[in-house]
Amino acid sequence: MTKKKIHLIEDDPLLSRMYERLFTIHDFDFMVDLDSQVGLERVKTEKPDLVLLDIMMPNLNGLEVLKLLKADDATKAIPVVMITNVEDDDTQKQAEELGADGYLIKSRFDPDETVEYVTKKLK
């Protein structure tokens, strides 16, 4: 069975490395981009099975990246789960309206729960 490919777009290098280790241990093919613009382009070429996308980032924020991914025929079917510390109902509603497939608050989901959530999303 081929490994599921997860792409994290997150500007925090420490969090990115932690998620990369954890998802790799759980047998996922894992990619990270610390820059949202680079991540957006790489999703188009790599076609991951799921994107984990932070909201608060320089350049393009996560909602802008989400909007661009869902507007592009090449990437609109890829599930995108927002992974953020923005605990705001309006932001969550906006993400859902733009096509997010999930909205995880980092402080409420420990890393193992995040892996479990993603695993269920991919079934």
Would you give the DSSP letter of residue 59? S
Angle at 83 between CA 20 and CA 7, to 5 degrees: 40
pLDDT at 116: 95
Cα torsion 34, 38, 44, 50 to 10°: value is 10
pLDDT at 1: 66
**12 or 1: whose pLDDT is higher?**
12
Average the pLDDT over 7-28 and give the result: 96
pTM of the model: 0.96
pLDDT at 92: 95
Q: What is the mean pLDDT of the chain?
A: 95
Instruction: Tell me the residue length of the chain.
Output: 123
Total domain count for the chain?
1
Q: Which domain holds residue 96?
A: 5-121
Q: How far is CA 11 from CA 1, 37, 89, 108, in A?
A: 31, 11, 23, 19
Percent of the chain predicted with pLDDT > 90: 89
Q: Tell me: the pLDDT tens digits for 55-102? A: 999 889 999 999 999 999 999 999 999 999 989 999 999 999 999 999
- 105-109 long-range contacts, Cβ below 8 Å, gap at least 24? 106/15
Would you give the DSSP letter of residue 1? -
pLDDT at 89: 93
| CATH number for the domain harbouring residue 69 | 3.40.50.2300
CA distance 12 to 73: 29
Q: How far is CA 33 from CA 17, 36, 44, 90, 104, in A?
A: 11, 7, 13, 26, 19
